[in-house]
Structure 1
Amino acid sequence: MNILVTAGGTSEKIDNVRSITNHSTGRLGKAISEEFLAHGHQVTYLTTPYAVKPEQSEHVTIEQIETTEDLLSKMNQLLSEQVFDGIIHSMAVSDFSSETSIPEEALTTALAKSLADQQDFTQSALEETVKKVMEQLGTQEQKEKKISSNTERLLLFLKKNPKIISIIREKQPTTVLVGFKLLVGVSENELINVGTTTLKKNQCDFVLANNLETIHGEKHRGILIHSDGQTETAETKQAIAQLIVRNVEMKGANHS
């Protein structure tokens, strides 16, 4: 099988020296890739600079990205160049990226100027004025290569990123697609319900649902949700990798 695995966590630049990222190490994605390789499959491993990676071999191709924009571009390229029998999208993709930043003084000055010209002081009118000011400031181009620290507060404007997984089924309708859902401090029922919603929304074959509070080193409780509602549970990264590989192989065999 020709397999694509995404792993690690994207990083979104604020300026040339600062960024927003997450704590994903890519260890689960690495374990999944190595399990596929051990079963004789070909793996494309799409990851980030600081994530762990499987050892180089003739059966693995490692591709590297940094931002969500990079990921979207690389995914579109890979999905147009190859047909993948299975895609395991375990990468922790940033929900938001930096649009611009402004010092506190810029916000207060802009608000004061707009409110000084205000004629209508009803709540709805004031809300509309504030909204317009925020929209104007938030869409300004970030010109500084390094944001000055000469302010007590820095306002960072974030814009919502596209959901990468949503493009996969459209571009590769026959692939066996495994999505991932990470929540924190929820019940198992809620975890399964949210994971099932993710599965249906993105037309996945499986979703691996996990709770951050149950992840400690190699101990990693994961619930693999099937498209028919069946669930299977594993308690370590290695067991999760084995569970995913076995199910992708079975589903792939049924597709062929």
Structure 2
Amino acid sequence: MNILITAGGTSEKIDNVRSITNHSTGRLGKEIGEHFLANGHHLTYVTTPQAVRPKAEENLTLIEIETTKDLEAALLEQFKQQSFDGIIHSMAVSDYTTETTMSEEIFIEKLAATLAKQPALSDLTKLTEALYLSLDEIGKTSQQEKKIPSGTDRLLLFLKKNPKIIAMLKEQQPQAILVGFKLLVGVSTEELIHVGQSILAKNNCDFVLANDLEEIHGDQHKGILIDAQGQTVTAQTKNEIAQLIVKKVEEKWRN
């Protein structure tokens, strides 16, 4: 099989020395990748600089990215070049990217200047609309500083929503067996399965691995694999999850 795995956690630049990221280590993706490689499959592994990854070998192609935009570009390039039998999208992708950053003083100056151009804003609806338009305009301010000065007491960071990478995977590779991942924190098993099923249906996944951050401690990693028929299988460690995913993907591919 020709397998694609995404693993690790993306980061979004604030300036040339600062970024927003998450705590994903890529350990689960590495474990899954190593099991696919051990079974003789070819693996394209897309990961981030700080994440762990499988050891170099003949059947492994490694691609390194940082931002969600980088990830999207790398995947689209791979999809032009080859067809995948399975896609394991375990990467923790940033929901938001930075739009611009400015000090409290500059923000207030820009907001005041924008609102001053508006007619009388005593009407609450008109004021609310004007504020939304002003924030949209300010948010598009180009980030000039390569390193944001640290002298301001309050720094305003504008974030905008990233595209959902998982949403485009089946569109680009409809033949691929797609495994999505969903991480929640402190929810019931019922809620975990319910949200996992919604992710599966929304993104046309074949499987979704639903897990709770409070159930992850080192190698102990409780995960519930949900298939398109709503059936679930629970694993208790990263190794068990990896074996389960490889087994289910291989079975579906053979059938």
Q: TM-score band (shorter)? A: over 0.9
CA distance in 2, matches of 1:78, 1:178: 18
- What amino acid does structure 2 have at the position aligned with 1:186? V
The secondary structure found in structure 2 opposite 1:245 is helix
Cα displacement string for residues 40-65 of structure 1 (whole angstroms, at most 9, x for unaligned residues): 11111110000001010101111110
User: Distance in 1 between the 2:179 and 2:121 partners?
Assistant: 53
User: How has the CA–CA distance of structure 1 residues 115 and 72 changed in structure 2, closer, same or farther, with 3 Å as cutoff?
Assistant: closer
Quote how far apart the aligned CAs of 1:242 are. 0.3
TM-score by length of 1: 0.97
Cα distance in 2, alignment partners of residues 94 and 240 from structure 1:
23
Q: What is the RMSD computed on CA atoms of the aligned residues?
A: 1.1
Contact 2:187/2:212 (8 A) holds in 1: yes
Shift of 1:124: 1.1
Conserved 8 A contact 1:15-1:144: yes
Residue range with higher mean Cα deviation, 185-194 or 109-118: 109-118
* Unpaired stretches in structure 1, ≥5 consecutive residues: none
- CA distance in 2 between counterparts of 1:43 and 1:116 reads 57
Are the equivalent residues in 2 in contact too, given 1:80–1:171 (CA < 8 A)? no
Deviates most, 133-142 or 12-21: 133-142
Contact map agreement 2:111 2:138 (CA 8 A) in 1: no
**2:225 is aligned with 1:224:** yes
Match of 1:146 in 2: 147
Residues 222-248 of structure 1 deviation map (CA, whole Å, 9 limit, x = unaligned): 000000000000000000000000000
Q: Quote the Cα distance in structure 1 between the aligned partners of 2:133 and 2:40.
A: 57
Residue in 1 aligned with 2:17? 17
The letter for the 1-side match of 2:44 is: T
Deviations 1:158-180 (A, max 9, x none): 11100111111111111110000
AA at the equivalent of 2:87: I
2:67 aligns to what? 67
1:151-162 matches, cutoff 5 A: 151-162=152-163
For structure 2, list consecutive stretches of 5 or more residues without a partner in the other structure.
none
Shift of 1:33: 0.3
The amino acid of 2:172's aligned partner reads: K
Deviation at 1:116, TM superposition (A): 4.9
Structure 1 stretches of at least 4 aligned residues deviating more than 4 Å after TM superposition: 114-118
SS of 2:121 mapped into structure 1: coil
Rounded Cα–Cα distance in structure 1 between residues aligned with 2:182 and 2:36? 21
Which runs of structure 2 are paired with 1:1-256 in the superposition (5 Å)?
1-116=1-116, 118-254=119-255
Separation in structure 2 between the aligned mates of residue 146 and residue 90 of structure 1, nearest angstrom: 32
Paired residue type of 1:207: V
